[in-house]
Amino acid sequence: MKQQLEKQITDRRIQKTRQGLQDAMYALILEKGYEAITVQDVIDRANVGRSTFYAHFQDKEDLLLSGVEVLWKQLEEHLLVETVSEEDIWKVSQSMFQHAQSQRSMYKALAGKQGGNIALKLIERNLYQIVFRHLNDELSKRKSTFPSEILTRHMISSFISLLTWWLDSDAPYSAAQMNEFYQQLIGCAVESLLLSSPPVTNYRNDAGV
């Protein structure tokens, strides 16, 4: 019992230290951009020792990626609370806009233009996995040979572009409005492929692959 209590206290301390370092990084990214930040900057802002930093993270990129992991875990929990299924792409995008609105500083630091490409690429990869699974299944059901990879890339790139602009512009529209804009921009193309059962076309690239 005593050992379990001590472990819980230690775990909370570790979590608090990691959170403090992540928060320091978010603030610094918003101030001067990820590329300009050094490990020493983070250490000074978080008011911890260098040995403490390296006990938790290898370098500033490791710290940045840990922030994306936290963001994605929170988003997954948000989807569960809102009972959103990955099957409903539009509700997933709406929930992400909502979560970004409630955690704007973290999202702006990681997905905004100041955060650089590393975090954004990881966010894109995670989104791709969710959207691709759904679209690939739906295109198969509709007997369409339209490449699911292309449709997924189109949806993700459009979403990320809007999300980044929205965050960097200090969210001039609500999360619900942004999701509506997103649907209006690409909904027709997606629905024409998924809902209208378009004729089967033998799509292939110029190389004949």
Instruction: Say if residue 188's pLDDT is above 50.
Output: yes
Q: Can you give the pLDDT at residue 20? A: 96
Nearest to 72, CA basis, from 96, 44, 88: 96
Q: What are phi and psi of 34, to 5 degrees?
A: -60, -45
The 10s digit of each residue's pLDDT in 100-147 is: 999 999 999 999 988 888 888 988 998 898 888 878 887 787 777 788
Higher pLDDT among residues 60 and 196, named by residue: 60
Question: Which pLDDT band holds residue 206 (cuts at 50, 70, 90)?
Answer: low
Question: Which pLDDT band holds residue 197 (cuts at 50, 70, 90)?
Answer: very low
CA distance linking residue 77 with residue 13, whole number of Å: 23
Q: Can you give the pLDDT at residue 37? A: 96
The 10s digit of each residue's pLDDT in 56-111 is: 999 999 999 999 999 989 888 877 766 555 557 788 888 889 999 999 999 999 99
Locate 13 and state its tokens. Answer: 């301390």
Q: Is 83 left (phi over 0), alpha (psi -120 to 50) or beta?
A: left
Which domains are assigned to the chain?
A: 2-194 (1.10.357.10)
The pTM of the full predicted model, rounded to 2 decimals, is 0.80
Which residue type sits at 191?
A: E
Q: Can you give the pLDDT at residue 209? A: 43
